[in-house]
């Protein structure tokens, strides 16, 4: 239960920064305001934003419930999380965040927010490559290596079946 409380606190702070404060700064600096009319781009934007936010929030709760930790690097899950959205892709939380930001970009018709989402994905990729994956390899060893062989880093797919390692034949 403590992990869920910590996850809610950390996620709230992260969401406030990444979903509200920084995008608000981007929109304000570009002079973009809420659209006066609700057309199909706003409706589609809301739907996409909601789907992305739902994925990200699901990941937070999966980390807390199954991993007994949070997405924060200083309070990571104690167990390797490979269920929920993590069955389909290794980094669904970042994908959910970027999807939500893309929905907001559509809602506001703001290419600046789309650029912000792309920049966030680039930063996430660097973080994953330079910190997350090496840390997970050290923490979970062979279990994480097997997971990496079965599930893509960024491209959601159906979980792959484990294949036996080929045997080397010496001749």
Q: Dihedral (C-alpha) 144, 150, 155, 157: value to the nearest 10 degrees?
A: -140
Closest CA to 151 of 139, 141, 160: 160
Give the C-alpha separation, 95 to 162, whole Å.
25
In this structure, what token pair is assigned to residue 121?
């994905």
Q: Are 149 and 85 in contact (CB under 8 A)?
A: no
Per-residue pLDDT, 161: 63
| Domain definitions of the chain by residue range | 2-150
Per-residue pLDDT, 166: 40
Structure confidence by residue, pLDDT tens digits, 124-155: 999 999 999 999 999 999 999 999 999 999 99
Per-residue pLDDT, 165: 47
Per-residue pLDDT, 49: 94
Per-residue pLDDT, 162: 56
Q: What parts of the chain have a pLDDT lower than 50?
A: 164-171
Per-residue pLDDT, 112: 94
Residue 12 DSSP code: H
Whole-model pTM over 0.75: yes
CA 51 vs CA 55, 102, 138, 150: distances in Å: 6, 11, 33, 25
Structure confidence by residue, pLDDT tens digits, 84-97: 999 999 999 999 99
């Amino acid at each position: 239960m403590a992990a869920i409380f910590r996850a809610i606190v950390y996620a709230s702070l992260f969401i406030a920064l990444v979903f509200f404060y920084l995008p608000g700064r981007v929109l304000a600096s570009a002079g973009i305001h809420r659209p006066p009319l609700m057309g199909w781009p706003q409706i589609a934007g809301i739907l996409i934003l909601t789907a992305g936010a739902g994925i990200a929030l699901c990941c937070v709760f999966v980390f807390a419930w199954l991993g007994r930790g949070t997405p924060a690097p200083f309070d990571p899950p104690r167990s390797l999380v490979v269920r929920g959205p993590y069955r389909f892709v290794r980094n669904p939380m970042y994908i959910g965040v970027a999807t939500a930001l893309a929905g907001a970009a559509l809602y506001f018709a703001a290419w600046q927010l789309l650029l912000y989402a792309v920049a966030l994905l680039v930063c996430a990729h660097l973080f994953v490559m330079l910190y997350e994956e090496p840390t997970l390899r050290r923490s979970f060893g062979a279990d994480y290596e097997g997971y990496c062989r079965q599930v893509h880093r960024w491209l959601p797919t159906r979980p792959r079946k484990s294949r036996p390692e080929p045997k080397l034949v010496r001749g």
